[in-house]
Amino acid sequence: MESTLPKPAIVAAEPARNATTIVYWIVTALFCLQMGFTAYAELRLPQVAEAFTHLGFPGYFRVELSWAKLLGVALLLAPVPPRLKEWAYAGFAFDLVSAVIAHLAVGDGPEAWGWAAGTSVLWALSYFSWRRLEATRATLLISPALQTPARSERA
């Protein structure tokens, strides 16, 4: 006779998965708002265009970077294959690290590179909680032993 009780391993994994899911969506929403705002500012605000000139970047790079950020935000929020999310996270990592390096290279202080550093913390929390969710999902999908009754229960 087969038991209808939930499997202990699956039941134990659900609260942790739910907490990770909540953390992921809160941090990812904050991160995407920040990146979306910076993309908008790079496209529309003249003082941001001046900052790019101060850093030594050409004007077209600011526009290109803004559209890449908007595409990355869309990929993080949409249900897309994991590989695309991975590329979006990689692009954001390059962007944030490059922003800090560019500001440091021209001698800017923490008031200039602090936003990129703070956004990097949001990036890290979002990325690592997403990786944790993906690992949990893979474990539940790959481990049929967690979802089938034990041999003694079937006999």
Q: What is the pLDDT of residues 106-137, one digit of tens each?
A: 999 999 999 999 999 999 999 999 999 999 88
Separation between Cα atoms, residue 51 and residue 116, nearest integer Å: 14
pLDDT at 18: 87
Hey, what are 117's tokens? 């550093």
Q: Which residue has the tokens 């481990």?
A: 143
Asked if 113 contacts 107 with a C-beta cutoff of 8 angstroms, the reply is no
Confidence at 138, pLDDT banded by 50, 70, 90: confident
pLDDT at 13: 57
